[in-house]
Structure 1
Amino acid sequence: MILRTGQRVVFIGDSITDCGRRDVAAPYGSGYVSLVRALVDARHPELELEWVNRGVGGDTVRDLAARWDDDAIGERPDWLAVLIGINDIWRHYGDRPDEAVGIEEYERTLRDLLRRAVDATGCRLILGDPFFIEADRSVPQRADTDRYAAVVAGLATEFDAVHVPNQAAFDRVLAVSPATRWADDRVHPYLPGHAVLADAYLSALGVSSA
């Protein structure tokens, strides 16, 4: 377990992180962030951790950059957990291709944001892979997602960050079950899919089973 007493853990990202945290499921959302918080607090109540969710549905890394000073640096995290990239890729395959973010811009922007956060706050980073709930790696959106996830893995090494292999977590369950069990659009998980993500985060953080 790498979290320490009284630390502030801030999650930031898109709808997967948001998950209603600005509405009916305030303030933590109804997805993986809420599950990680609940399970860590249940297993380690002595730590008295502070949890913050700053996910915003629809965000790409460009949107993240526009609110970074307030929602990342301004939150003064001890740990900053970032999950971004799904919309950057997905927009290329939808009706808003002009809003898609190419992989070079994605890497350049994300690296700059992470550096700014670390330099300004001294925080440690938790970097989650973007994912696509599809087992066939030849599907174009899945192939692109693997490329963007490789960028995140490289940045995790560069920043000595905790790396959360979300795509690999879904690949494990997709080996024995259909994608429709986890999401209807291969992007927004049902609650069991969020549990898959939460398990990946708990493992990366070294949180022991109850």
Structure 2
Amino acid sequence: MILRTGQRVVFIGDSITDCGRRDTATPYGAGYVSLVRALVGARHPELDVEWINRGVSGDTVRDLAARWDDDAIAVRPDWLSVMIGINDIWRRYGDRPDDAVPIDEYERTLRDLLRRAVDATGCRLILGDPFLIETDRSDPQRADTDRYCAVVAALAAEFDAVHVPTQAAFDRVLAVSPAKRWADDRVHPHLPGHAVLADAFLAALGATATP
């Protein structure tokens, strides 16, 4: 387990991170953040860790940039978990293509935000991939998602961050189960889909199950 007592863990991202944390499921949301918090507590009860959710539904990296100082830097995280990119890609395939974020802008913006956070707070980073719950890798949105995932993996190496390969986690379950089990729209997971995400985060954190 890489977390230590007294540390503050901040999660920031889009609707997958938000998951009702600002209304029906305050303050942690009803998704993977809440599951990670609960399971780390259950598996490592000796740890006293503070958890903060700063996900906002609909966000792209542009939106993160607009609120970064208040929602990422000002809260002084010891660990900052960032999972962003789904909307940056998805908008290209919906009714808001002008709001899509090209991959070069995505990489440049995300790198700048991560550098600012590390320089300002000394935090360690946890970077989760964007994902699409889709088995056909030739599907245009899935192919784009894989390219953005490669950007996140490269940034994780650049910043010596903990990398959470969420797309690979979904690919493993999709190999033996239908996509509709995990999400209706390929993007917003049902609770079992959030459990897939939580498992991936727990593995990356080293939060092993009790024997």
**What residue is the counterpart of 1:177 in the other structure?**
177
How far residue 169 of structure 1 moved from its aligned partner, in angstroms, is: 0.1
* Paired amino acid for 1:142: R
Q: Distance in 1 between matches of 2:14 and 2:130?
A: 10
How far residue 35 of structure 1 moved from its aligned partner, in angstroms, is: 0.1
Deviations 1:180-204 (A, max 9, x none): 1100000000000000000000000
Q: Distance in 1 between matches of 2:47 and 2:192?
A: 27
TM-score (ref. length: structure 1): 0.99
TM-score (ref. length: structure 2): 0.99
**What residue is the counterpart of 2:163 in the other structure?**
163
How far residue 141 of structure 1 moved from its aligned partner, in angstroms, is: 0.3
**What residue is the counterpart of 2:17 in the other structure?**
17
Question: 1:95-110 maps to which residues of 2 (within 5 A)?
Answer: 95-110=95-110
How far residue 140 of structure 1 moved from its aligned partner, in angstroms, is: 0.3
Secondary structure, aligned partner of 2:173: helix
Secondary structure, aligned partner of 2:177: coil
Secondary structure, aligned partner of 1:75: coil
* Paired amino acid for 1:195: A
Q: Distance in 1 between matches of 2:55 and 2:80?
A: 12
1:47 and 2:47 aligned = yes
1:138 and 2:129 aligned = no
Q: Distance in 2 between matches of 1:42 and 1:74?
A: 29
Q: Distance in 1 between matches of 2:65 and 2:170?
A: 28
Deviations 1:144-166 (A, max 9, x none): 00000000000000000000000
Question: 1:76-155 maps to which residues of 2 (within 5 A)?
Answer: 76-155=76-155
* Paired amino acid for 1:154: A
- How many residues of Structure 1 are paired with residues of Structure 2 in the alignment? 210
* Paired amino acid for 2:6: G
Q: Distance in 2 between matches of 1:149 and 1:133?
A: 13
Deviations 1:95-152 (A, max 9, x none): 0000000000000000000000000000000000000000110000000000000000
What runs of 5+ residues in structure 2 fail to find an aligned partner?
none
**What residue is the counterpart of 1:36 in the other structure?**
36
Q: Distance in 2 between matches of 1:203 and 1:186?
A: 23
Secondary structure, aligned partner of 1:170: helix
**What residue is the counterpart of 2:195 in the other structure?**
195
Q: CA RMSD in A?
A: 0.4
How far residue 44 of structure 1 moved from its aligned partner, in angstroms, is: 1.3
Q: Distance in 1 between matches of 2:75 and 2:11?
A: 10
* Fraction of identical pairs, as percent: 85
Deviations 1:61-119 (A, max 9, x none): 00000000000001100000000000000000000000000000000000000000000
Runs of 4 or more consecutive aligned structure 1 residues displaced over 4 Å after TM superposition = none
How far residue 45 of structure 1 moved from its aligned partner, in angstroms, is: 1.9
Deviations 1:21-55 (A, max 9, x none): 00010000000000000000111122110000000
* Paired amino acid for 2:154: G
